[in-house]
Amino acid sequence: MSEVVGRHAMGEGGRGRLEALFDAIIAIAMTMMALEITVPHLSGFDLGELGSLGGEITVYLISYVVLASVWVVHATLYSSYGASGMEAMVVNLALMFVVTIFPILTRAMSEYPGNVLLACLYVGTYLLMEVMLLAMIGLAKHRDHGERRHQFEDIKALLQALPAVPAEGSRAADVANRANLAEKYRDDKDVSAHLFHELIMSLPQPIQDIHRGKQYRQDLSFRRLIGGLVIGFVTVAASVAALLVDRFLCYPALLIGGAALLMDSARVGVHYETRMKENH
């Protein structure tokens, strides 16, 4: 029963509504953090008062990086894999709850700078969000049943074009038989994976290239997601640790983390482009 409810709620319209809700929550959380910055009442050019404002802005910057990284991973995950099922919905809702309380931690970090326990709670909350994102990635990667159903529908649509070419009539019949056999054993993961591979290999080369390109793009997105999560956590943890010492040390940590993320993304992109050229 829960699977039926999950599939109904997480259809195309349900996924769009969930993404819109997540985007709104992220935007509201970012706005709340900015509104919590207290602007001092200056009677003159008081560097001490401006210094306290700089501390709040630094904490806000770190929190902004946290929520921005969560949003980027979430958006990339949905664009590359999508999400379906009750499990994905539950993880999404739990992630949204943690995002809504993050502005409270940001405010506490601003009011109690140098508190090690609070800093650990702050980093731990970010780690919890990353664990939830990893769970969503795992669910998306292992969503064989729903993904195969859509792939079968795409292949059947392509089969309708093959008989239009007389020379392809026998191939179309062979592919149709393979598609029916693979769909019959769709629920058996081991058998289905083998039959589905044979089905793909029996398709015309241009269609195989399209399928292979889609797989490479998904693998590329997966590798970038994992790299982004790891580099993002290390960057935020280092920034918070630097904040306990001197807030000016946070900025080099953030810049180094951003540079590392760009370099890792470029390296992964070059690696997968090389693999695709070699396979062609």
Alpha carbon distance 149, 184 (integer Å): 11
The string of pLDDT tens digits covering residues 172-205 is 555 556 556 555 545 555 545 555 566 666 666 6
**Residue 103 pLDDT > 70, yes or no?**
yes
pLDDT for residue 7: 44
CA atoms within 13 A on the CB side of 158: 20
Whether 80 and 147 have beta carbons less than 8 Å apart is answered as no
Percent of the chain with pLDDT over 70: 60
Tell which wins on pLDDT, 263 or 7: 263
Tell me the residue type at 182.
A
Residue 9's pLDDT band (boundaries 50, 70, 90)?
very low
Most confidently modeled range among 69-83, 156-170, 241-255, 259-273: 241-255
pLDDT for residue 167: 43
Comparing C-alpha atoms, which of 102, 109, 106 is closest to residue 125?
Answer: 102
Tell which wins on pLDDT, 157 or 128: 128
Most confidently modeled range among 109-118, 189-198, 264-273: 109-118
Whether 91 and 136 have beta carbons less than 8 Å apart is answered as yes
**Residue 65 pLDDT > 70, yes or no?**
yes
**Residue 156 pLDDT > 50, yes or no?**
yes
Tell which wins on pLDDT, 249 or 274: 249
pLDDT for residue 53: 78
pLDDT for residue 128: 97
**Residue 32 pLDDT > 90, yes or no?**
yes
Q: Where are the beta strands (DSSP E) in the chain?
A: none
pLDDT for residue 213: 65
Estimate to the nearest angstrom the gap between the alpha carbon of 3 and the chain centroid. Answer: 23
Please compute the mean of the pLDDT values over residues 101-120 and round it to a whole number. Answer: 93
Alpha carbon distance 151, 109 (integer Å): 48
Alpha carbon distance 214, 235 (integer Å): 31
Most confidently modeled range among 10-24, 92-106, 127-141: 92-106
**Residue 81 pLDDT > 60, yes or no?**
yes
Listed by start position, the domains of the chain span 2-142+212-279, 146-203
Q: How many CB atoms lie within 10 A of CB 95?
A: 22
pLDDT for residue 166: 44
pLDDT for residue 95: 96
Alpha carbon distance 68, 70 (integer Å): 5
